Structure 1
Amino acid sequence: MDNSPTALFDSYEQDFRQIIDSIRLKLDGEGKDERGEQRRATLRRVEMELDEADEMISQMEIEIQGIPQSIKPQYQNRLKTAKGDLLRFKKLSKDLHSQVSRAELLSSGRVGTPTSDEPYGPTSDRTRLLSGTATLEDGTRRLQESQRIALETEDQGAEILMNLRMQREQIENSRDTLRTADTAIDRASGTLKKMIRRMYQQRVITAAIIVVLVLVIAIILWEKVFR
């Protein structure tokens, strides 16, 4: 497992590039010639992938804080490039949504013609205009609801990431405390070994003194008794 300070950033950037390539394929590649409901479904998938790409950007912004200053500028440039790509595809997706809505409105306007018996019937210009307005309002409501859900999801994701960062800091602090405790234990162990060694030395010295005193007393007694 790569434990370098840039490993997570690189992983998130790789995921971001894969998502962007998928979006590019849907908007500029094989999905460009789609029409009708198929095109709308593709654009909905693009919206979901744009949300995922936005999440990857948020992850990269968090991880870049822990990158060393010596190499941080180049990663900031990579993050800036990723943000530019995301903004460009968001704008392109929005433009395509507008084009699809206009195309649907125009196509509905070409279906049927009013008759003298039904000047304001279901195929009249007024009816088509009301129907188109209702469609646009419904699309606007869905878009606003999607944006609200995306914002709520983003807030929840940011809160989770903040909690994870706090937990990581607590783990790092605990690890530092354990290292300090290990160092203190090693020092205490060394001190105890020195004390034990000195105790043995003092015992040897005390025993030697006792032996010398016993010999001296024995010599004195021998001289007194035998002389």
Structure 2
Amino acid sequence: MDAAGGSELFESYEQDYEAIKVSVHERLNASGSQTGEIKKQTMRAIDREIDEANELLQQMEMELLNLPQGSRTRLQTRLRGYKADLDRLKQTFKRAQSTSRSTSDRDELLGGASGGLDLDAASMDQRTRLLNGTDRLAESSRRLQDSHKIALETESLGAGILTDLRGQREQIIHSRNTLLEADSNIDKASRTLKGMARRMATNKLITASIIAVLVFLILFVLYSKLFS
């Protein structure tokens, strides 16, 4: 999901937003020389694109929730810039709309006979906007499903890691207990060996004493026989 510390999906939203922004600027520039129904269609197209841009910013904001803190902080700054940029576009569009309405009112006064055609065009435009809204809703639902799937995969991975860590902790505790038990056994063996060494030294001393007494007795007996 991450790409160079960011999000491929977030960058895709950014590219879509930049494309829409360029299109809005082009339409706004073109609307200055347009009149009548063509200008109305341009204004409606700009309105749709601004709605799409606003939805893209909302998707960017949702995508930030799935990113680590470091990437999220950096991308939030870019997102704030996009929001400020979109607000300026909306203000420019409102001014263009105000100018367009004034021109439209004047045209309606001068050309009331074209009212039926305008109503048909408005109905078609409304239907087109409805279809576009449905498409955008489906796309948003798909992106939400993708985000939910990624969240579930991340949760499953985290659970697996926690299970592994728990198993490793139990192994470490078991190893520590084994070492403590071995250390205790070593201490017991050391004490036993020291006791055996003391007993051996005592036995040697007793043996030497007995031998010395026997030698003394033998010498005493020999001396007694020789000089008796």
Query: Which residue of the partner structure matches residue 53 of structure 1?
Result: 53
Among 132, 139, 143, which residue is 2:125 paired with? 143
Between the aligned partners of 1:93 and 1:146, the Cα distance in structure 2 is 20
The corresponding residue for 1:23 is 24
**Alpha carbons 1:9, 1:63 under 8 Å: kept:** yes
Following superposition of structure 1 onto structure 2, how do residues 4-19 of structure 1 map, counting pairs within 5 Å? 4=6, 9=10, 12-19=13-20
Please tell me the residue identity of whatever aligns with 2:87.
G
**Counterpart in the other structure of 2:167:** 185
Report the AA paired with residue 161 of structure 1. Answer: R
1:10-63, CA deviations, whole angstroms, 9 ceiling, x for partnerless residues? 65345423321232123316x755789987887786566445424422322323
**What residue ranges of structure 1 are gaps of 5+ in the alignment?**
110-127, 209-227
1:43 and 1:98 mapped to 2: Cα distance? Answer: 13
Q: Which amino acid aligns with 1:60?
A: M
Aligned partners of 1:28 and 1:63: how far apart in 2?
Answer: 33
Q: 1:119 matched to which residue of 2?
A: none
What RMSD, in angstroms, separates the aligned Cα atoms of the two structures? 5.2
Partner of 2:4: 2
Aligned length: 197
Cα distance in 2 for partners of 1:138, 1:74 equals 44
Q: Which has the higher contact order (CA 8 A, sep 6+)?
A: 2
Q: Which AA in structure 2 matches 1:87?
A: K
Post-superposition shift, 1:141? 0.5
- Identity in percent: 21
Matches within 5 A, 1:204-219: none
Q: Which residue of 2 aligns with 1:81?
A: 84
- The 2-side partners of 1:149 and 1:177 are apart by 42
Q: Distance in 1 between matches of 2:181 and 2:53?
A: 70
Indicate the structure with greater helix content: 2
What residue in structure 1 maps to residue 221 of structure 2?
none
> Which amino acid letter does the alignment assign opposite residue 152 of structure 1?
T
2:156 counterpart of 1:174 = yes
For residues 101 and 152 of structure 1, do their structure 2 counterparts lie closer, same or farther at Cα, with a shift above 3 Å needed? farther
Cα distance in 2 between the residues matched to 1:65 and 1:85: 26
User: How has the CA–CA distance of structure 1 residues 99 and 182 changed in structure 2, closer, same or farther, with 3 Å as cutoff?
Assistant: farther
Gaps of 5+ in 2: 191-228
In structure 2, what is the equivalent of residue 157 of structure 1? 139
Moved more, 193-202 or 80-89: 193-202
CA contact (8 A) 1:54 1:86 kept: no
Q: How does the TM-score come out when normalised to structure 2?
A: 0.55
Which has the higher Rg, Structure 1 or Structure 2?
2
Counterpart code for 2:151: E
Deviates more, 1:85-94 or 1:40-49: 40-49
